[in-house]
Structure 1
Amino acid sequence: MKSLRSRIIIIIVSFSLLIALTVAFLSFNISMRYLTESQRQSSYINVQLLGNEVDSELNTILSFCNRLELDSAVENYLTNVPAVRNESITAYHRLSMDVWNHLNDEYRLNPSHDLISRFMVATPDGEDFLHIAIVQNNTTVELADSVISAPFFKELLYSEDYRYTGFTTSPVNNRENIRIMPIVRPVRRFTSPDIIGFIYVEVSDELILRHLNNLNLPADSELYFTFEDGNSFRCVDRSLEKTDLPKGLVTYTLPGKNISVSVLPSGSELRNRTVFYLLIIVAVIMFIILTGAVIYILLKKIINDPVDALILKLKKVGNGDFSRDPAIEWDNELGEIGRGINSLSYNVDALFQAKLKDERERQALEYRILQSQINPHFMYNTLNTIKWMASIQGADGIADMSTALSRLLKNVSKVADPLIPLKDEIALLNDYFTIMKYRYGGTIELSYEIEDDDLMTCLVNRFSLQPVVENAIFHGIEPRGSAGSIDICVYSKDERLCIDVSDNGVGMDEEAIERLFSADETSSNDFFKEVGVANVNSRIKFSFGEEYGLSAESVPGEGTTIHYILPIKRK
């Protein structure tokens, strides 16, 4: 059988290793996720900056193209040049030179004109055209024909909007293998949709390449540009090579254009950061293991000697030595094992019994609070005798009051049944009000408004209405010094029984309402001196739960309403 010490050693070592491995696993995964996300976020910021720079210059070029489409000089040239050429060579050259100078001025005013390696304005058949280029050809006769015969020409010409097919070899300067991005737009008459010519623009690959120096990317990162139809290009040594896209790219798409900039994050940078974080994780693991070793040494010193002494004592007990050994009564938990278990068991049992007894007494007291110090049965029999004598002598008022009081006393004696139907509670209230009505000479009135007779069978606390009505009489109507009325409304709301007791007395302020529900509040009637509004509220909560009870609304000088919230519960 393994000793306690061996088990403690195994537990400590296992726990330390478990914590170390858990921390290592979680730390590695969290750090790798953080590193990857951080690197991808950094890469996204870089390509976003690059993309915005490219987008800004491309928008400038597109604005230049848009101006040419709407330029009246361009429209005039394309509309009239065939006829002018046939009529007069001199007029033809003059028209061409004037428009060419105008186009050259527009070209030079464009902030990104150095990115436009060539642009051309030509008639649909290419017979008449004007062109401006940074690098001139040896011959310009067939320039327009070369553009028209290019494979991309018709697709771009008849596209509803600008299309970006990527970089390709210039169709008019293919001997120098110059890569350009072509832009072709139709020119229409201002007054009709007829195409009267086209604009051809060659955008240099410097649109992208000249921004690479400002890009802060590691050496082994790869940068890609993707255009429409999936044409992708990789930036290699200040040149663009057409290629397929790899996986794991971080991509930014230019706003409103089918052009995206992508970067393949650096693998070496991620590896370097991973090694750094792994070193930190190893240091944390070593610290945890070292801490576990220190804890083991301390526990061994603290527990070993007491456990050896307890084992020795148990052996003595097994040999029949039941004498008290003060040496094992240390001032710690192990010292309490021998002398505290029996005392603890006894104390817990005594405390439980005392708690149970207190709870029973509290419940009994809650339902005995209506008992008077007089004998209710004796008073009940005596009042019946008075009733009959008053009836014989024709004193109907005395007979009514005696009858009402006797029924009250009879119900007081039935404290064993704390919950009664609402109709019985209202009957008790009527008996009480009969006495009060004679006392005040008929100057107070009590009325009822019952939404549904079925609600009269709902259970309520015995003597839960009388204290509230009593409070309305003594503290609401009586100080007023004139006749008053009390209205009781019974209705259901949200599957709950609601009772409103309203009076037209003097009302109360907030401070008086707080006193009404305080624990020290009691009834002003000597017979029911232990039963007040606060007591009724407490009994409702005790019987049905904390979500039920009383609340009050009052306007000084106008009256008070006490709201009852009870569950709809029947026998």
Structure 2
Amino acid sequence: MHGGLNLHPELYKNGEYGKILISGGTDMRRIKKWIHSLRGRIIIYNLIMVITVALLGSIVTYKTALDRSKKVIKQSMSQRIEGVSDKFQVAYEEMMNIVLNCTGRKSMNLGSLDFTQQPSQRKQALMNNELMSDYCAISGYGSYISKLMLADKEGHFIQTGSDVGSTDDFEKLMETGWFEQELAKETGDYKVSVVKNPFFGGKGEKMIPIIRPLDNTGLMREEGWVFLGISAKLFEDELARSDSGNTMIAVTGTGDLIAEVKTEELKEKELSQITEMLLKKTENTGVIEEKTSSGQWFISYAKSPETGILTYEMMPVKEALNERVIIIRLAGVLFFVCLLLGMLLSVLSSKRIRKPIDLLTAQVKKIGGGDFSRNPQIETEDEIGEIGKGINHMSTKIEQLLKKNVEDEREKKNLEIKMLQAQINPHFLYNTLDSIRWIAVIQKNTSIVKMVTALSSLLKNMAKGFNEKVTLKEELNFLQDYIIIEKMRYMEMFDVEISVEDEKLYNARIIKLTLQPLVENAIFSGIEPMGENGIISIHVKSQENTLCIFVRDNGVGIPEEKIEKILKGKEKSKNDTMSGIGLPNVDQRIKLVYGEEYGLSIESKVGEYTEIQVRIPIEY
């Protein structure tokens, strides 16, 4: 047993099992190498893109087709329910016309409705009865007229209709609780109601009553009325004739059920809630999606503004969207076709790209091995060819640089020999200056003492380097040594005034040899060319966490067009400066250490002054 597998002992004996493991490991390494190769990555990336595009395309196709299917279903439901609602409206209008014809038609002599009176009056009553029967027969919905009755308030009446008549029909009608309410309704805004049939022939069945008062000015007796009862079977048959296979319901404006088909899937409470919700809607027609405890439904509805009848159809979304299976299959086929095409294009494109890349790889390996010769084959006219041109150019430059490096190393060795020959021991120089100072002290020559002391101090500070940071106090002390030497050199031709606004600023850190080149510039470029005594003022202050140092002289000034050239190092400086550090050098040192927002700025007016401002962040 090994790794949960039963292997034949002969595999161990013959070493076949080890070969299987080695072969499996080799295959894994090959697969891993292929995945990390450029060709493998191109194919994988292309496949990822193709799969993504195909997946998005399939999703969009599925979503579009599904939305289209929903739209078609909703349109079909809307047209069907509006058609049924229109038929109800036509039936109502025909019934109302029959009633109005009976109440107002002059051809109908309504002088008497009593069959017990004289023969001529009985004959008239019979003619009226036949005329009412004709009205019912002419109507396309005559078979659904349960009762058409014309009566006066004395109880005399004539009637016709599909229900069997009885002598007590008048009393039965008057005993109902809804008679007076129906009679009081306005003809132009007659919102229908559904009631139980009170007559013997159709007792218990649902009926839609229409009652209108008589309107005949030729009557010489008390008023009467016309009653027409529409069987609810008219609505049931119209709903059934639509043959949609869905739940269909018709209710009055008050929510009373008139007719329904196929409501088995829904609970009575659900139907009541849906009816109440639809009656509250301000739109007379529409299609909505609604979720109930029985599931998700499409609901198409139509309301009659004249009769108040609400008709609606309900279709389960799961049944309505049976086409989803076809849509999913179509999307799946589209996905796999795109995937196969993507794989084919990936393989073909990777082969075309791989050949020039292999040439580039071989050229780079040649360069790594020390062969810097050019390869014209890698210089094609595409983006990879541009890389090839760059590699060839690089190999040529590397070869040139290697040759130059050999020459530079040879020159460097020669310079080191010369520097060693020219090197002087600093301690010997300091000791010599110290001996000169003591001779001057013995001879009581104070000027020489001061100058030698200042020079010695300057040399010691310069020997320590240029880029270290010192305190402002140390920088000013160093500057004083330089000023002593220059004042003796120029025979007190200038004075220097130093002011620091806050004592704490003496401890602020500053790059060594920042102020000396500025004062040197003020002497050589400002005071000396003027030919008379001048003043150099140094003012130090803090401004929003920035150390600001102003070096100002009242010399000849600098023309505006030369200021930018000075800071960029385009203006030639004198060769006899002490440190060899000019203004551009100071500006560059500050920017390198603190950032581009810091450095030097120059303001000058020819013949009046020059002011150089140093800005660095305050550090302690």
TM-score by length of structure 2 reads 0.47
| Structure 1 equivalent of residue 168 of structure 2 | 142
1:121 aligns to 2:150 (yes or no) = yes
**What is the Cα deviation at residue 91 of structure 1?**
6.6
Q: Cα 1:263–1:195, aligned 2, differ >3 Å: closer, same or farther?
A: farther
1:311 aligns to 2:361 (yes or no) = yes
- AA paired with 1:100? N
- Structure 2 contact 236–261 (Cα < 8 Å) conserved: no
Q: Give, in whole Å, the separation in 2 of the partners of 1:63 and 1:165.
A: 15
Report the secondary structure of 1:272's partner residue: coil
| Structure 2 equivalent of residue 132 of structure 1 | 160
- AA paired with 2:130? N
Q: Give, in whole Å, the separation in 2 of the partners of 1:341 and 1:156.
A: 101
Report the secondary structure of 2:322's partner residue: helix
Aligned positions, number: 331
Q: Give, in whole Å, the separation in 2 of the partners of 1:281 and 1:112.
A: 51
- AA paired with 1:46? R
Report the secondary structure of 2:342's partner residue: helix
Q: Cα 1:322–1:152, aligned 2, differ >3 Å: closer, same or farther?
A: farther
- Structure 1 contact 252–260 (Cα < 8 Å) conserved: yes
Report the secondary structure of 1:122's partner residue: strand
Report the secondary structure of 2:164's partner residue: coil
Q: Cα 1:234–1:54, aligned 2, differ >3 Å: closer, same or farther?
A: closer
**What is the Cα deviation at residue 234 of structure 1?**
4.8
**What is the Cα deviation at residue 36 of structure 1?**
0.7
| Structure 2 equivalent of residue 565 of structure 1 | none
1:156 aligns to 2:182 (yes or no) = yes
| Structure 2 equivalent of residue 107 of structure 1 | 136
| Structure 2 equivalent of residue 35 of structure 1 | 69
- AA paired with 1:183? I
**What is the Cα deviation at residue 16 of structure 1?**
1.8
* 1:235 corresponds to which of 250, 254, 260: 260
Q: Give, in whole Å, the separation in 2 of the partners of 1:160 and 1:75.
A: 25
In the TM superposition, what whole-angstrom CA distance separates every residue of 1:422-465 from its partner, at most 9, and x where no partner exists?
Answer: xxxxxxxxxxxxxxxxxxxxxxxxxxxxxxxxxxxxxxxxxxxx
* 1:252 corresponds to which of 292, 302, 307: 302
- Structure 1 contact 166–226 (Cα < 8 Å) conserved: no
Q: Which runs of 5+ in 1 are unaligned?
A: 344-571
Q: Cα 1:47–1:318, aligned 2, differ >3 Å: closer, same or farther?
A: same
- Structure 1 contact 51–253 (Cα < 8 Å) conserved: yes
Report the secondary structure of 2:177's partner residue: coil
Q: Give, in whole Å, the separation in 2 of the partners of 1:181 and 1:341.
A: 96
1:186 aligns to 2:216 (yes or no) = no
Q: Cα 1:342–1:66, aligned 2, differ >3 Å: closer, same or farther?
A: farther
Q: Give, in whole Å, the separation in 1 of the partners of 2:143 and 2:40.
A: 83
Q: Give, in whole Å, the separation in 2 of the partners of 1:225 and 1:100.
A: 32
Q: Cα 1:6–1:151, aligned 2, differ >3 Å: closer, same or farther?
A: farther
- Structure 1 contact 40–265 (Cα < 8 Å) conserved: no
| Structure 1 equivalent of residue 79 of structure 2 | 45
* 1:326 corresponds to which of 372, 376, 380: 376
- AA paired with 1:180? M
- AA paired with 2:45? I
- Structure 2 contact 133–161 (Cα < 8 Å) conserved: no
**What is the Cα deviation at residue 277 of structure 1?**
0.9
- Structure 2 contact 95–228 (Cα < 8 Å) conserved: no
Q: How does 1:39-438 map to 2 (within 5 A)?
A: 39-72=73-106, 76-77=110-111, 88=117, 93-124=122-153, 127-137=155-165, 140-161=166-187, 163-173=190-200, 176-190=203-217, 196-212=223-239, 214-217=241-244, 219=245, 221-236=246-261, 244=272, 245=274, 247=290, 248-254=298-304, 256-265=306-315, 267=317, 269-330=319-380, 332-339=382-389
Q: Cα 1:151–1:8, aligned 2, differ >3 Å: closer, same or farther?
A: farther
| Structure 1 equivalent of residue 53 of structure 2 | 19
Q: Give, in whole Å, the separation in 2 of the partners of 1:313 and 1:25.
A: 46
TM-score by length of structure 1 reads 0.51
Report the secondary structure of 1:59's partner residue: helix
- Structure 1 contact 253–261 (Cα < 8 Å) conserved: yes
**What is the Cα deviation at residue 132 of structure 1?**
1.1
Q: Give, in whole Å, the separation in 2 of the partners of 1:26 and 1:54.
A: 42
Q: Give, in whole Å, the separation in 1 of the partners of 2:92 and 2:136.
A: 14
Q: Which runs of 5+ in 2 are unaligned?
A: 1-34, 276-289, 291-297, 394-620
Q: Give, in whole Å, the separation in 1 of the partners of 2:202 and 2:161.
A: 16
Q: Cα 1:134–1:238, aligned 2, differ >3 Å: closer, same or farther?
A: farther
Q: Give, in whole Å, the separation in 2 of the partners of 1:153 and 1:10.
A: 82
Instruction: Calculate the aligned-residue CA RMSD, in Å.
Output: 3.6
Report the secondary structure of 1:121's partner residue: strand
- AA paired with 1:224? I
**What is the Cα deviation at residue 142 of structure 1?**
2.5
Q: Cα 1:275–1:237, aligned 2, differ >3 Å: closer, same or farther?
A: closer
Q: Cα 1:191–1:100, aligned 2, differ >3 Å: closer, same or farther?
A: closer
Report the secondary structure of 1:40's partner residue: helix
Report the secondary structure of 1:171's partner residue: coil
Q: Give, in whole Å, the separation in 1 of the partners of 2:222 and 2:62.
A: 64
**What is the Cα deviation at residue 336 of structure 1?**
3.8
Q: Give, in whole Å, the separation in 2 of the partners of 1:296 and 1:113.
A: 76
Q: Cα 1:106–1:232, aligned 2, differ >3 Å: closer, same or farther?
A: closer
Report the secondary structure of 1:249's partner residue: strand
**What is the Cα deviation at residue 100 of structure 1?**
2.3
**What is the Cα deviation at residue 284 of structure 1?**
0.9
